[in-house]
């Protein structure tokens, strides 16, 4: 093992123990309620170390070997960024009670030694020979060890530390002063919120060949662990929705009751929690530190969909008064974007949808990705796949006239759509008349497919290697009180 210099040892424990700590608690099993997080750092393969983002509530079943009376107990292998103010240990059977507690944070090269407080260790001296063995009590300006005679030994210069248990617990540790009614084994429940854990939905759609829009749809949950510790045989419940967290430096949701055992099924069991959706995984999972795991949310299925080539100009905005300047609203961009719409077959938690389609050799290829927000069952979700290569639109204003006395304004546009592809395409042209909220369509070369107070939409068929044009005129009107001053 590498030599540990005293300069690298940070203060990890400020309390001097009255007596040697009781045996460390063993984790029988843990239950984690995991909240959605969209922080890209949690899921990036290039990131190392602990990330202070994400929200989880942990409930661990611990077994303590206690002596009768007051004693100090150490619990290690805790996450690095848990919320110390909301951490609690309870004894459901009433065998003991907690008098005080102190969280020792894992920091730098001292993290492993902090996790060993309360454990049996062997210290090797500068010459590599055994120096002292016993219970590690403190890591400070040296190692405070309680040896087999009951005395305390302070080791300042050493080469290495060997754990009698064969491993070094990762993460932070918790020191508790406990009063037990009697000696023996006691079941305890340790609960705390922590960061470094998060999840989000990951969807994959493979478009099917044919004239219509059909796709094979897969739903998964991506679960990231950058908490500083491993999680083994953990029962997970995923919460879909956006609870409010008041503390900016870390999560502090209320402690939750124990989760009910999921029904026997390969898919997660869906339920509700106040205003949110939950997904309880059917079997325990392992979440190694520094990993991103995926589990299914729903069974794969084939869905109907709708693809649109969309040209859109303007947005949903209304000025405080009519805009009479001829320089406004005269042109637009040339790009046509490809969109994909689907109807939620069930509750779809927020996440990202990757879309693939087969190339000329039948190999699925990526054609775009977009975000799906939380979408209730039966609602539509639409994403933008990208910019169409062969389609362009040139937009020009062909007429503009303001009649202040009549309080009217007429504006005409011509849109020329070009298609460099070998097949005909239908382009949806979406215009937002934005000079004033009162308007009507007075003429158009193509009948609109949709018209609402802030949207004017046309479907234009553009031939292969050809062009098509759309002409339309809008008239705005306003009252005397709404007339601009200038």
Which tens digits make up the pLDDT trace of 133-147? 888 887 777 888 888
Please give the model's pTM, rounded to 2 decimal places: 0.75
Confidence label for 262 from pLDDT (cuts 50, 70 and 90): very low
Q: Are 387 and 337 in contact, with CB atoms under 8 Å apart?
A: yes
Average pLDDT over residues 157-185: 79
* pLDDT recorded at residue 470: 98
pLDDT at 67: 92
Q: What Å distances lie between residue 79 and 26, 52, 107, 177, 230, CA to CA?
A: 15, 11, 12, 21, 9
Q: Give residue 329's pLDDT.
A: 60
Distance, in Å, from the CA atom of 360 to the CA atom of 376, rounded to the nearest integer, reads 36
pLDDT of 167 > 60? The answer is: no
Residue 260 has pLDDT above 50, yes or no: no
| Per-residue tokens: 337 | 């974007």
Q: Please list, in sequence order, all residues whose beta carbon lies within 8 angstroms of the beta carbon of residue 337, skipping any fewer than 6 positions away.
A: 309, 310, 311, 312, 384, 385, 386, 387, 388
For residue 97, what pLDDT is reported? Answer: 93
| Cα–Cα dist 475/412, whole Å | 9
Taking the C-alpha atoms of residue 161 and residue 287, their distance in angstroms, rounded to an integer, is 27
Q: What is the CB neighbour count within 10 angstroms for residue 309?
A: 21
The pLDDT value recorded for residue 27 is: 54
**Distance between CA atoms of 419 and 394, rounded to whole angstroms?**
12
- Flag whether pLDDT at 284 surpasses 60: yes
pLDDT at 61 over 60: yes
The arithmetic mean of pLDDT across residues 224-247, rounded, is 86
What tens digit of pLDDT does each residue of 31-59 get?
999 999 988 889 987 766 678 889 999 99
476 Cβ neighbours under 8 A, 6+ residues apart: 322, 408, 409, 410, 411, 433, 435, 436, 438, 439
Which segment of 105-119, 140-154, 168-182, 471-485 scores lowest on mean pLDDT?
A: 105-119
Can you tell me the mean pLDDT for 150-160? 86
Within a 13 Å sphere around the CA of 469, how many CA atoms are in the beta-carbon half?
7
Banded pLDDT at 2 (limits 50, 70, 90) = very low
Dihedral sign (CA 451, 452, 456, 462): negative
Question: Which of 72-76, 235-239, 456-460 has the lowest average pLDDT?
Answer: 72-76
Q: What is the pLDDT of residue 81?
A: 80
Q: Give the pLDDT of residue 68.
A: 93
Using DSSP's 3-state secondary structure scheme, residue 40 falls into: helix
Q: In this predicted model, which residue has the larger pLDDT, 8 or 355? A: 355
CB distance 271 to 278 below 8 Å: yes
Least confident window among 247-256, 297-306, 409-418, 445-454: 247-256
**pLDDT, position 210:** 86
Report the Cα–Cα distance between both ends of the chain, in Å, rounded. Answer: 81
> In angstroms, rounded to a whole number, what is the distance separating the alpha carbons of residues 254 and 243?
11
User: Does residue 241 contact residue 374 with C-beta atoms inside 8 Å?
Assistant: yes
What is the C-alpha separation between 176 and 117, in angstroms, rounded?
A: 12
Higher pLDDT, 251 or 288: 288
Cα distance between residue 198 and residue 334, in whole Å: 40
**6 against 51, higher pLDDT:** 51
Domains, the chain, ordered by start: 314-338+382-482 (2.60.40)
The C-alpha atoms of residue 122 and residue 124 are separated, in whole angstroms, by 7
By the 8 A CB rule, do 425 and 307 touch? no
SS3 category, 76: strand
With a CB cutoff of 8 Å and minimum separation 6, the contacts of 223 are: 34, 197, 198, 199, 236, 238, 285, 287, 292, 293, 294, 295
Q: How crowded is residue 120: how many other Cβ atoms within 10 Å of its Cβ?
A: 16
Dist CA 240 CA 246 (whole Å): 18
What are the Cα distances from residue 94, in Å, to 91, 179, 267? 5, 11, 37
Mean pLDDT of the region 365-387: 96
**Cα(83)–Cα(19) distance, rounded to whole angstroms?**
27
Please state, rounded to an integer, the average pLDDT across all residues of the chain.
84
Least confident of 6-15, 198-207, 390-399, 402-411: 6-15
Are the CB atoms for 43 and 352 separated by under 8 Å? no
pLDDT score for 247: 57
The pLDDT of residue 280 is above 60:
yes
Strands (DSSP E) contained in 67-129 are 69-78, 88-90, 96-104, 120-124
- Whether residue 274 has pLDDT greater than 90: no
What residue has token string 């059977």?
93
pLDDT of residue 111: 61
Please name the residue that has the structure tokens 């087999």.
148
Tell me the average pLDDT across 387-398. 95
Place of tokens 């042209």: 429
The residue ranking higher by pLDDT, 206 or 127, is 206
Q: What confidence score (pLDDT) does residue 211 get?
A: 82
CB atoms within 10 A of CB 111: 21
- Scored b (16 or more CB within 10 A) or e, 415-434 reads bebbbeeeeebebbbbbbbb
Contact 82, 50 (CB under 8 A): no
Tokens for 117, please give them: 């407080």
What pLDDT band is residue 368 in, cutting at 50, 70 and 90?
Answer: very high
% of the chain at pLDDT higher than 90: 55
Mean of the pLDDT values across residues 288-314? 94
User: For residue range 82-133, what is the model confidence (pLDDT) as tens digits?
Assistant: 888 888 899 999 999 999 988 876 655 566 676 677 778 888 887 778 888 8
């Amino acid at each position: 093992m590498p030599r540990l210099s005293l300069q690298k040892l940070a203060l990890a424990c400020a309390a001097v123990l009255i007596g040697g700590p009781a045996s460390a608690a063993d984790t029988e099993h843990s239950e984690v309620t995991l909240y959605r997080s969209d922080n890209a750092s949690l899921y990036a393969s290039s990131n190392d170390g602990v990330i202070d983002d994400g929200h989880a509530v942990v409930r661990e079943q611990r077994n303590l070997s206690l002596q009768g009376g007051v004693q100090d107990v150490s619990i290690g292998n805790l996450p690095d960024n848990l919320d110390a103010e909301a951490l609690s240990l309870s004894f459901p059977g009433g065998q003991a009670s907690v008098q005080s507690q102190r969280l020792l944070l894992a920091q730098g090269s001292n993290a492993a030694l902090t996790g060993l407080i309360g454990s049996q260790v062997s210290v090797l001296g500068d010459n590599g020979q055994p120096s002292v063995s016993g219970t590690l009590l403190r890591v400070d300006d040296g190692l405070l060890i309680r040896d087999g005679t009951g005395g305390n030994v302070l080791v300042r210069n050493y080469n290495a530390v060997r754990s009698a248990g064969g491993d070094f617990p990762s993460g932070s540790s918790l020191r508790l002063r406990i009063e037990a009614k009697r000696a023996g084994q006691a079941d305890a429940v340790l609960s705390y919120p922590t960061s470094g854990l998060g999840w989000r939905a990951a969807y994959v759609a493979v478009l099917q060949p044919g004239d219509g829009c059909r796709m094979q749809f897969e739903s998964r949950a991506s679960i990231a662990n950058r908490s500083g510790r491993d999680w083994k045989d953990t029962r997970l419940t995923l919460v879909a929705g956006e609870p409010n967290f008041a503390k900016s430096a870390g999560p502090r949701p209320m402690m939750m009751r124990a989760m009910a055992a999921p029904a026997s099924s390969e898919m997660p069991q869906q339920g509700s929690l106040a205003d949110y959706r939950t997904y309880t995984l059917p079997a325990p999972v392992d979440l190694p530190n520094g990993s991103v795991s995926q589990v299914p949310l729903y069974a794969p299925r084939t869905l109907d969909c709708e693809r649109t080539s969309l040209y859109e100009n303007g947005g949903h905005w209304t000025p405080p008064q009519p805009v009479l300047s001829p320089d406004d609203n005269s042109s637009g961009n040339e790009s046509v974007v490809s969109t994909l719409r689907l109807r939620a077959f069930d509750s779809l938690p927020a996440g990202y949808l990757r879309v693939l389609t087969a190339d000329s050799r039948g190999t699925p290829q990526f054609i775009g990705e977009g975000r799906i927000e939380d979408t209730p069952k039966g609602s539509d979700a639409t994403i933008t796949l990208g910019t169409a290569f062969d389609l362009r639109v040139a937009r020009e204003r062909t007429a503009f006239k303001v009649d202040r006395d009549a309080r009217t304004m007429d504006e005409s546009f011509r849109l020329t759509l070009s298609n460099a592809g070998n097949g005909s395409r239908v382009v949806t042209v979406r215009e937002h008349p934005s000079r004033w909220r009162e308007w009507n369509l007075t003429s158009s070369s193509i009948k609109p497919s949709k018209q609402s107070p802030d949207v004017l939409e046309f479907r234009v068929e553009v031939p292969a290697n050809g062009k098509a044009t759309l002409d339309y005129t809008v008239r705005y009107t306003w009252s005397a009180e709404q007339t601009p001053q200038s």
